[in-house]
Structure 1
Amino acid sequence: MEKLKCLVLDDEPIGREIIENFVSEIPFLELVSSFGDPLEAMTFLQANKIDLIFSDIQMPKINGLELVRALENPPVIIFITAHRDFALDGFETGATDYLVKPVRFDRFLKAVNKAKDYIELKQGSTVHQVNSDRIFIKSDGKLTKILLDEILYVEAQGDYLKIVINNETYTTLATLKSMDEVLNLPKFFRVQRSFIISLEAIRSLNGNMVELTNGKSISIALNKKEELFQILGIR
């Protein structure tokens, strides 16, 4: 894996220097830039690709939480704060971790390793097709075999997929597009942006809703309804 490109943001020079020194001690991190002004950092982030941001929360003009929310595709975030109360708000923005000042190196290293694991998982494929009737997915830190005939539906939930089979549910870090390439016709159909269903699992159709054998009801996108009916042989 290439070095992770990092940006440090803190309006306090001492705080920036501490994190910059910590970054320089970790071989797989590369400090690309460091800012004391959040607006300058935002301008830089809009024009440059960064893997990981270390950002203070309390800053003038715009705080760290507001900055992240303003970014269209924010990098992985580790927030730094003097107040533990801000931690919950940080996690609500999708932050991987948060560090409380004064930051200790051992705690910094733990947060960085967590971010590294997340980035590697996100960049790598978590859905592996081994033959036409089964796949392996990364779930709960292990590879789990799933038989395609057992899948009822797959739901996109942010960066994750929820895969529902006859008696169990699995969650894995992957896109619905990557799963769509595995679950092809004639057994599966993408009924809308967030759902792929098994055609064998359809119990009934009512208007723009499809009910599955487990009782789950899912809406059908208007531009998908005619295609689904044709596949099912319904005129």
Structure 2
Amino acid sequence: MEKLRCIVLDDEPIGREIIENFVKEIDFLELVDSFEDPVKALMFLENNNNVDLIFSDIQMPKINGLDLVKSLEKPPVIIFITAHRDFALDGFETGATDYLVKPVRFDRFLKAVNKAKDYIELKQKSTVHQVNSDRIFIKSDGKLTKILLDEILYVEAQGDYLKIVIQNETYTTLATLKSMDEVLTLPKFFRVQRSFIINLEAIRSLSGNMVELVNGKSISIALNKKEELFQLLGIR
């Protein structure tokens, strides 16, 4: 595997220097650039699509790390850095692979980058192939199977695999939920929490923080996703 090209983003010079030095200690990481200003980092990312990994602080002036990632059309793999554990859940909801709490220890840093490396390798081996806007082929049970996107009720992440549920069948394939995020897009599909993407047309009912689909499957809605889901469904 080629080196993972990464950038560091932190408005605090000491915190930024620590991560830069850690990156230089890992033989499969290559430091492409380092930024104090999140706006400059955003401009760099919008003009460079060869970054594999971002180490980003969350609390920063002008734009925080969470909003920066959300603004990217196809963000690289993210490892957030924060002084507050309370931000961890929000970080994971943006699709972050891991988060590090300041002061960052090298052993914890190494664990996070190994996790990111495994994730990127898995994504490169993904068995989901989009052939046009309305269908995909997946490798399941030793064969390529065509799935029409309109037939998908929901997709569930299960470790290194995805469970894809359509109206009458269920398939399991090696892939990441993030790779399916690029295929199953709004306004038809919505990621209601870390592990599930649902077909909005498959919703039967809503109760509290739970959504029930037409096949009887009940799925919890992340608190920070509920308002957006209701807006998409036209519920005021």
TM-score norm. by structure 1 comes to 0.61
Alpha-carbon offset, residue 99 of structure 1: 0.2
Distance 1:101 1:43, change over 3 A: same
How many residues matched?
Answer: 170
Structure 2 unmatched ranges of 5 or more:
130-137, 181-187, 190-200, 203-213, 217-236
1:162 deviates by: 2.9
Aligned to 1:6: 6
Deviation (angstroms), 1:161: 4.7
Asked if structure 2 preserves the Cα contact closer than 8 Å seen for 1:162 and 1:172, the reply is: no
Residues 56-135 of structure 1 mapped to structure 2, 5 A cutoff = 56-126=57-127
In 2, Cα distance between the equivalents of 1:68 and 1:127?
A: 24
Taking structure 1 as reference, are residues 71 and 125 closer, same or farther at Cα in structure 2, changes over 3 Å only? closer
Residue pair 1:46, 1:71 contacting (<8 A) in 2 also: yes
| Cα offsets for 1:128-178 (capped at 9, x unmatched) | 9xxxxxx865xxxxxxx36789x9x766749975334988663541667xx
SS of residue matched to 1:108: helix
Shift of 1:56: 0.3
Paired residue for 1:173? 175
Structure showing greater Rg: 1
- Which residue is 2:185 aligned to? none
SS, match of residue 54 in structure 1: strand
The letter of the residue matching 1:33 is D
- Separation in 2 of the partners of 1:5 and 1:158? 29
Instruction: State how far apart, in whole Å, the 1-side matches of 2:43 and 2:18 are.
Output: 23
Q: One-letter code of the match for 1:36? A: E
The letter for the 2-side match of 1:15 is G
CA distance, structure 1, for counterparts of residue 142 and residue 86 of structure 2: 41
Identity of aligned residues (%): 71
Partner Cα distance (1:20, 1:158) in 2: 35
**Closer/same/farther in 2, CA of residues 3 and 147 from structure 1, 3 Å limit:** closer
Closer, same or farther: CA 83–47 of 1 in aligned 2, 3 Å:
same
- Match of 1:163, as an amino acid? I
Could you tell me which runs of 5 or more consecutive residues in structure 1 were left unpaired when the two chains were aligned: 129-134, 138-144, 177-192, 195-207, 210-214, 218-235
Partner of 1:28: 28
SS at match of 1:32: strand
Equivalences for residues 215-230 of structure 1 within 5 A: 216=215
Letter in 2 for 1:88: L
TM-score relative to the length of structure 2: 0.61
Q: Secondary structure at the match of 2:55?
A: strand
Structure 1 letter corresponding to 2:27: P
